[in-house]
Amino acid sequence: MSSDFEKYRSPDAPVPEQTWTWNMYGAGVENIGRNGKPELTPVPEPNDDQLLVRVDAVGMCFSDVKLIKQGSAHPKLYNRDLLNDPTRLGHEATLTVLKVGANLSEEFYPGQRLALQPDIYDELGRSTAYGYTIPGGLIQYHLIGAEVLSAGLDQQTAYVIPVEGDLGYAAAALTEPWACVEAAYTQRRRLTPEKGGIMWFVGRAGDTSTYQFSTGLDAPDTIVLTDVPESMRQLVVEESNNRDLTVVVRNGVGIADYARLSAELTEGAGFDDIVVLNPHSAELVGAAAKLIARRGTFNMVGQVALDGLPQIDVGRMHYDYTAYLGNPGPDIAASYGAARNRCDLRPGGTAVFVGAGGPMGQMHVQRAIELPDGPARIIATDINTMRLTALEQSFSPLAQDNNKELYTFNPNTASQSLYDFVYQFTGGQMADDVIVSVPVGAVMAEAATLMSEDGMLVFFAGVPKKTFAPLNMSLVYLHNAQFTGTSGSTLADQELVINKASEHKLSPNRSVAAVGGIEAAAEGVRAMMEGRYAGKVVIFPQLSGLPLMGLSELKVKYPTIGAALAPGDVWTNEAERRLIELFWQAT
């Protein structure tokens, strides 16, 4: 006789007539569900171009807080009237196909498991993310169709990934946030001049330096020259003699006029590529940097440090992937390319993770520990003692197993500053890599001071655009320092995480901190917002009667499940199987 878990996994798993759902009718947690409870709605039948899917697990994500606070005003809802056209939270979801429309039978089949990539774009390039524009996973059963399976500019992209092997439900759901972590260490910046773009050269009056541009000057269709030395002017003249190139000369343009210049020549979109020659003024660099186009490059070439720290938009580093490049010269082109501009952690180095105690920060720490050619020394810092203690208990054994050194630091309880700790720890060299998971401009600025001269600073947490922080940009062209930021993930990122997890090179289960059934979804949202747990809250929509519990509480109340946890109260597939056996009620 088959077990309940085998019945659950079966392609013939029962489908009820009704489904519990947590619709969102407006801003605030109080508008999730009706009177704090889920609603019972009919389970729909798929048409020929739809799948009926069962939602197996959903991770709670802090990025939902903006949606919860803003409601209909959230940019991805496009002024939608949630009261009459509600959405649902839950973009970190894993699904099982139960019914397949006739036109999809060659691609999908009953019982097939799927991970969903929520960063979905329509044929117009507009973001229609699952869990935002498209109602998400806080429901037991729902339909997915062309909005997910035939999306993108080509209307042929399926934003789902088959899940094979023994990957658990919680682990599969958490491949989405893990994909965001993985994406932070892949190259998102454009590192070569834009083909057909607008390139602006900003020089210094009286500069007689000789420059070269060995490759890439043939990319832009328009070149703007401001106070450049004669050697640069001649390079551009030669280029214009060889092809159709628009050359605009605007000498004597002051900092106060930069914005007007951009408005005139780029219609406010910004310059695709900006090259600052022999920079000395932090104010100039800060002002010019405001005019980089989305995914634009800002190339500094010089041998003298700036006279201060320019104010740089850290929000745009995260959301617009603005790239800051440089070299001492004389070849301007030497700044470009992936070979010079790294994006992953330095092998054998020292990495500092700021905000390491939160769910996403812990994922970054875990990745660094498990990375075969990753850093040798890892400093995890957080101001939350509970979270930092949980991190140390969970990851110290993992660090030992991977021959890595793990240190934790709480600046609120320590007798010295974080800067002094890192300085002493590294013998004054500072950290090779600093990863920031705290969305606060002042914290980001402080984190930048922890970086070595040739280090890398990663802004993982997002702050609003026009959030400025003083950054030592001289390090970029004098020592090849890297300033990067990433937002979200792609199908390729999530596929990579699924493959790593399937090959047991990565354990998303380590991120699970609390679990709950369908009735506990709203409480799970509140717990996520309050930072009640160090790791991820995972809701199992198919389970009923399971209140929200941390794993330490779960193992006390349900010893048979607790016995299946790994050392350090780490979630396992066996614990998940026992949870489903206990709380799933077959129709």
Question: Residue 231 falls within a domain, yes or no?
Answer: yes
pLDDT at 4: 87
Map residue 34 onto helix, strand or coil: strand
Report the candidate in 175, 166, 163 with the shortest Cα–Cα distance to residue 108: 163
Contacts of 341 (CB under 8 A, 6+ apart): 187, 189, 191, 323, 325, 480, 482
442, 543: one domain: no
161, 100: one domain: yes
Question: Residue 419 falls within a domain, yes or no?
Answer: yes
Question: Residue 480 falls within a domain, yes or no?
Answer: no
Plot region of 152 (φ>0 → left; ψ -120 to 50 → alpha; else → beta):
left
pLDDT, tens digit, 9 for 90 and up, residues 88-102:
999 999 999 999 999
Tell me the average pLDDT across 441-465. Answer: 94
Pairing of strands 536-540, 512-517: parallel
- Yes or no: say if 455 and 481 are a contact pair by the CB < 8 Å rule: yes
579, 514: one domain: yes
Tell me the average pLDDT across 65-77. Answer: 92
pLDDT at 1: 40
215, 316: one domain: yes
422, 326: one domain: no
User: Residue 424 maps to which CATH number?
Assistant: 3.40.50.720
In this structure, is the dihedral angle defined by the CA atoms of residues 510, 514, 517 and 518, taken in order, positive or negative?
negative
Question: Residue 487 falls within a domain, yes or no?
Answer: no
Map residue 95 onto helix, strand or coil: strand
Question: Residue 481 falls within a domain, yes or no?
Answer: no
392, 502: one domain: no
27, 150: one domain: yes
Tell me the average pLDDT across 201-223. Answer: 96
Given the structure tokens 């998102």, which residue do they identify? 188
User: pLDDT band at 378, cuts 50/70/90?
Assistant: very high
User: Residue 170 maps to which CATH number?
Assistant: 3.90.180.10
284, 372: one domain: no
215, 321: one domain: yes
282, 390: one domain: no
Question: Residue 473 falls within a domain, yes or no?
Answer: no
Tell me the average pLDDT across 390-414. Answer: 95
Cα torsion for 133, 134, 135, 141, to the nearest 10°?
180
Residue 242 has pLDDT above 60, yes or no: yes
Question: Residue 512 falls within a domain, yes or no?
Answer: yes
Q: Whole-angstrom Cα distance, residue 377 to residue 124?
A: 45
User: pLDDT band at 302, cuts 50/70/90?
Assistant: very high
- Yes or no: say if 152 and 298 are a contact pair by the CB < 8 Å rule: no
End of a domain among 282, 302, 335?
335
- Yes or no: say if 76 and 87 are a contact pair by the CB < 8 Å rule: no
Q: Domain residues for 271?
A: 198-335
203, 106: one domain: no
End of a domain among 463, 479, 500?
463
456, 524: one domain: no
Number of structural domains (the chain) is: 3
User: pLDDT band at 184, cuts 50/70/90?
Assistant: very high
Question: Residue 79 falls within a domain, yes or no?
Answer: yes
pLDDT, tens digit, 9 for 90 and up, residues 533-555:
989 999 999 999 999 999 999 99
